[in-house]
Chains A and B, each alone.
Chain A
């Protein structure tokens, strides 16, 4: 069965259990379909957690899927497949960042405004850049909370599953991260 046909067949099945079951049996075409279905979202989250480092984002995304297919036989469907994959992605990324100890951009890097897309209303571009720099300067766990909740739109329950923490802990971490952001941006309150 070709990749396209398999994907088409999968689309007729209301969930991806079919693909997962095939991939668990070593079917590379099914695995490729799962990769195609999830790699873009995973890469986007990883890219943002990495502070925009393309090389790290590519490596961590690769590592995530190597891990996913390595451990697929242990996936029992206790959570949604996407949540399981994202949890591995976040773990791989945070562990990798900790190991590498190289974040390209710090709190004092304010040149990021040049990369930003067109303005939305009411926000000074310099302040936008400062917010982004402040988020990237947060400790990894706090940065993950802000990016996953406030930028990517995940719920605390989902973040709890991804990070392996309780929902309340996720809320507490976000509260702490936001306090740090308010403090970091206190000088720009007039904007």
Chain B
């Protein structure tokens, strides 16, 4: 189909696309008023927030990665024939797990600094560059065997979306933009899911 014909079809669609049926705007307002002006904000009922999670998670990651490195060195120092012959697949999977752990750790650090970033105009380019770098790693992991786990793949897809939003912030970002991203993080429970993923990776599930 030519571009010209598609333009004709889209012009036609603009004129003929069905209008939505009129909803009960009054009833909708009742709910909006109740939720937005009741004085009891949803935010207050969410405990703890992702920011609190992120601090604990960052600490867990640092300890976990440290322990992982120590134990890897110990394993490497005492190789056995059986281990060498049977653990090739495990090592490959383990390598992906380590990359994933590293990615998740760096992502959490980035996400944790997002609120502060809203107040710090000068570092925008560096911040978005970090997000771009993490976005590239996320996409590589999405195409790797690490993404064969459905839950982990879903988490990576959400991270891809959030990191893409952050990477595009560049200069001229507004508080609203940052707020929308942090809202998306909370709505998708991104940080708690990262924490679960790190726990699964550390258990070797």
Which residues of A come within 8 Å of B, CB atoms? 26, 28, 31-32, 35-36, 39-40, 43-44, 47-48, 52, 54, 57-58, 61-62, 65-71, 74-76, 78-79, 84, 87-88, 91, 95, 98-99, 115-120, 122-123, 127-128, 131-132, 135, 146, 150-151, 153, 164-166, 169, 178, 181-182, 185-186, 188-189
Contact = CB atoms under 8 A, between A and B. Distances in A.
Contacts, number: 135
Interface stretch (B26-34, B51-59, B99-107, B132-140): B26-34
Contacts of A48: 17, 20
Contacts of A47: 20
B73 interface: no
How many chain B residues sit at the interface, stated as a range, is 35 or more
Contacts of A87: 176, 180
Interface of A is mostly: helix
Interface stretch (B2-10, B64-72, B84-92, B141-149): B2-10
Contacts of B12: 120, 122-123, 128
A34 to B, nearest CB: 11
B176 A84 contact: yes
B188 to A, nearest CB: 7
B32 A66 contact: yes
A151 B14 contact: yes
Given A71-B176, A99-B187, A120-B15, A35 B3 contact: no
Most buried by A among B17, B18, B174: B17
